[in-house]
Amino acid sequence: MKTANYTLENANEFIRQKEKDVITTYSPGYHLTAPVGWINDPNGFVYYEGEYHLFYQYYPYKTVWGPMHWGHAKSKDLVTWENLPVALSPDQYYDEGGCFSGSAIEKDGKLYLMYTGHLPQSDEEQSRQIQCMAVSEDGIHFEKINQNPVLDEKDLPDNARVQDFRDPKVFERNGVYYSIIASQTKELTGQILLYQSTDLIEWEFKSILLEGTKDQGIMWECPDLFELDGKDVLITSPIQIPKSGNEFHNVSSCVAFIGKVDWEKGTFEVESMEEIDHGLDFYAPQTTIDEQGRRVMVAWMQMWGRNMPTHTENHGWVGAMTLPRELRIKDGKLIQLPISEIANYYQKSAEIKEVVLVDETKEFEGVAGKVGVLELIVDLKEATRFRIELRASATERTLLTYHTETNELEFDRFQSGIPISGEEAEPLNKRKVLCSLDEGKLKLKILLDNSSIETFVNDGKETITSTIYPLSDESEKIYLEATGKVRIDSLDMYDIDML
Ligand code: FRU
C-alpha cells in the first residue's frame, strides 16, 4: 500500500523547481550539502562500483526537519559531489513517518539500503520504529523489498523500548551479514543491538552488543562498528550525555568506544571511550571502507536544538556534511585526518617560514579568506598564549586560542556573526579541548568553508568542528597574535579551487 503525498517524483520535481532560489551566502564551497531544503545525518555511506555514494536524511520541502527522505550524491574523490535523484521517500505504510537513518552494503553487484521506518502516533507511547530494506541494480533507483519490515518489535530483547529502535548499520564479516541498531532501554539508557543474517532479508537477534550506563546518555543514535589498526571501534551518538570537564557540552554528543568484540557472545569489551569532536556542530558520524582500505568518516556539521541561521534568514537550505576524514588508531586513540584528496584542490596563497612574534598581532599577505585551508606549525615554548583570529573584520571575528598554562585549545564564536542559541547551558559559543604540545609545538590544519571551520590539531589527535555565520562580507581577514614569544616554524595558506 502506498501513501500518496511524499513520492520520489514530487520530491525531485520540487528540487528541480526550487534549487535555483537558494541563497548561497553561507553555502559551502567544498562540503556536501543538499540542492535545497533540510539535511541531517549522513546515511548509506559506501564505496560502490568505483565511486563513493553518500545518502542523507533529507526534507526537501522546508528548511526544518520533516518527514524524512534519503537525499543522494556520489563522488569520485570525496570532494566534488554530483547530486543524484532522491533515493527514498516515505511512501509506504511502514515508513510513513519518515525513512530514518541507515546504511548501505553491496551484495552480488546490487546496492542494498537498510533504514528505519518511523511510525509516529499522536500518543507517543504508541509510536514504533522498524527496520526495512531497499535494493538497487544501478545504485540510483531503489525498490523497497516486499518482505518489509525485516525487523520489528518481535525482534527486540525484553529490555528494549519499541519506540526507539533505529539507525541500522549493516556490514559483512566472514560471510555473515550483521546489523547493529540503536535502541533505548526501558530504564531510558542507550544500547546497541546486534542482528545477523545470511541474505540481508531474514534477520535474527543475536545479542546486546553494548548497554550504556545512566551517565552515558538517554539514547544512543547512529551506531557504527569497524576494525581499525588491530582494535574494534564502536561509534555512537548519545543524547544528553552529561557534561564532564571539556567533554560532552552539546545537547547530543558523539563517542568512540575502543576495544574488542567477542563475536561468539556478540559483546563489546570497552577499553576506552572518547568524545570524537570537540566543536559545536558535529553529529551522527558514519564510516565506510574504500578500495584503498581507508576507513573514512563523515558527519552532519550541525547540532540539534539550535536556531539555524540559514533557516531563519530564509536562505532555502540547512545543513552540510563535514569533509570526509580518514580514521586511524594510534596509541589507543582515534586519529582523524581530512581526506588527502583535498590537497588536489589547493592553490597556494601564502608560505611563511621561521617568523617570530613577540607580544604582537600580525597580518600576513595572502593569509585570509572565507574558503581555504590554513596549515601551521608554531613553537610555543616561550609563549603563554597563541591566538588566531579567523574570519575577522572590524565587527566580527572567530577565535582559536591556545593557552600554554592549561594546554587547552579554545574555539570561540561569540563574535562570529549571527548569534546561535540552543538548548544547552551557556557558554554556547565556546568549546575547549585539552591537547598537549609535541616538543613545545602546536600543529594546526584549519579548513574554512564560508559557514564552517574544522580544525585538526596535532596530526588529527583532536578536532573542533563548528559553524559560523558572519554578517559582514568583509569578515575574511586572519590575524596571528602572540602573548610571549611565538615562533612560526611554517605557515601555508591555500585557496580551494573547485575548477
Ligand atoms: C540522529 C537521528 C537519528 C534518526 C534521524 C531522523 O540525528 O535522530 O537517530 O534516524 O536523526 O532524522
Tens-digit pLDDT profile for residues 372-393 = 999 999 999 999 999 999 999 9
17 and 28 Cβ atoms separated by less than 8 Å: no
Whole-number Å distance, alpha carbon 86 to ligand 1 midpoint, is 18
Indicate if 149 and 65 belong to the same structural domain. yes
Amino acid at 64: V
For residue 154, what are the contacts with CB-CB under 8 A and spacing of at least 6?
Answer: none
d(CA 468, CA 415): 10
Q: Is residue 2 pLDDT above 70, yes or no?
A: no
Q: Is the pLDDT of residue 498 over 50?
A: yes
Q: Is 383 found in the same domain as 292?
A: no
Q: What is the CATH number of the domain that holds 355?
A: 2.60.120.560
What is the total count of domains within the chain? 2
In terms of domains, do 429 and 369 share one? yes
Q: Whose CA is nearest to atom 8 of ligand 1?
A: 221
Q: Are 293 and 358 found together in one domain?
A: no
Chain Cα centroid distance, residue 391: 23
b/e string for 191-214 if b means 16 or more Cβ within 10 A? bbbbbbbeebeebebbbbbbbbee
Same domain, 481 and 449: yes
Residue 254 within a domain: yes
- Tens digits of per-residue pLDDT, 24-56? 999 999 999 999 999 999 999 999 999 999 999
pLDDT tens by residue, 183-195:
999 999 999 999 9
Task: Kindly give the number of the ligand 1 atom that is closest to the alpha carbon of 100.
Answer: 10
User: Is the pLDDT reported for residue 137 higher than 80?
Assistant: yes
- Ligand 1: residue of 68, 89, 101, 301 to mutate (most ligand atoms within 8 A of CB) is 101
Does any domain span residue 89? yes
Structural domain including 267 reads 3-16+30-330
Asked which of 330, 352, 377 is the last residue of a domain, the reply is 330
385 domain residue, yes or no: yes
pLDDT of res. 426: 78
Does residue 427 belong to any structural domain of this protein? yes
CA–CA distances in Å: residue 337 to residues 455, 465, 480: 10, 13, 24
Atom of ligand 1 nearest to the CA of 65: 12
> Is 41 annotated in the active site?
yes
In this structure, is residue 194 part of a structural domain?
yes
At residue 499 the predicted structure's pLDDT band, cuts being 50, 70 and 90, is low
pLDDT tens-digit readout, 91-134: 999 999 999 999 999 999 999 999 999 999 988 889 999 999 99
Let me know: does 388 contact 495? Beta carbons within 8 Å: no
Percent of the chain with pLDDT over 90: 96
Residue 216's alpha-carbon distances to 7, 35, 273, in angstroms, are: 38, 36, 11
- The residue whose grid cell reads 539500503 is 113
Mutate which of 69, 127, 166 for ligand 1? The one with the most ligand atoms within 8 Å of its CB, which is: 166
Q: What would the pLDDT profile of 239-255 be if each residue is shown by its tens digit?
A: 999 999 999 999 999 99
Do 291 and 378 sit in the same domain of this protein? Answer: no
Residue 23 within a domain: no
**Domain boundary pick from 330, 357, 379:** 330
Rounded-to-integer distance, Cα 257 and Cα 262, Å: 14
**What is the distance between the alpha carbons of residues 107 and 100, in angstroms, rounded to a whole number?**
22
What confidence score (pLDDT) does residue 37 get? 98
Structural domain contains residue 409? yes
Does residue 23 have a pLDDT over 50? yes
Give the contacts of 273 (CB within 8 A, at least 6 positions apart): 255, 256, 257, 258
Same domain, 309 and 371: no
| Structural contact between residues 125 and 107, judged by C-beta atoms closer than 8 angstroms | no
Average pLDDT over residues 453-478: 98
pLDDT of residue 4: 58
Q: Do residues 181 and 243 share a domain? A: yes
Neighbouring residues of 224: CB distance < 8 A, sequence distance ≥ 6: 169, 180, 233, 234, 235, 236, 285, 286, 287
21, 41, 232, 497: the active-site residue: 41
228 and 283 assigned to the same domain: yes
First to last CA, the chain: 46
pLDDT at 139 over 90: yes
Same domain, 447 and 361: yes
> Considering only CA atoms, which residue is closest to atom 6 of ligand 1?
100
Across 430-450, b (16+ Cβ under 10 Å) vs e yields: bbbbebebeeeebbbbbbbbb
pLDDT at 1: 43
Give ligand 1 pocket residues (Cβ under 6 A).
Answer: 40-41, 57, 68, 100-101, 116, 166-167, 221-222, 283-284
Q: Are residues 168 and 262 in the same domain?
A: yes
CA distance 464 to 355: 26
Q: Which atom of ligand 1 is nearest to 300's Cα?
A: 7
Spacing, Cα 39 to ligand 1 middle (Å): 11
Q: Among 309, 330, 351, which residue terminates a domain?
A: 330
Domain match, 131 and 269 both: yes
Confidence of residue 423 (pLDDT cuts 50, 70, 90): confident
Distances (CA, A) of 25 to 317, 398, 495: 11, 18, 18
Average pLDDT, the chain: 97
Q: Which CATH number does the domain housing residue 44 bear?
A: 2.115.10.20
Instruction: Report which ligand 1 atom has the smallest distance to the Cα of 222.
Output: 9
Average pLDDT over residues 321-347: 98
Q: Which residue has the cell 542507550?
A: 190
167, 252, 253, best to mutate for ligand 1 pocket (most atoms within 8 Å of CB): 167
Has residue 22 been placed in a domain?
no
Q: Which residues pair with 179 in a beta bridge?
A: 170, 195
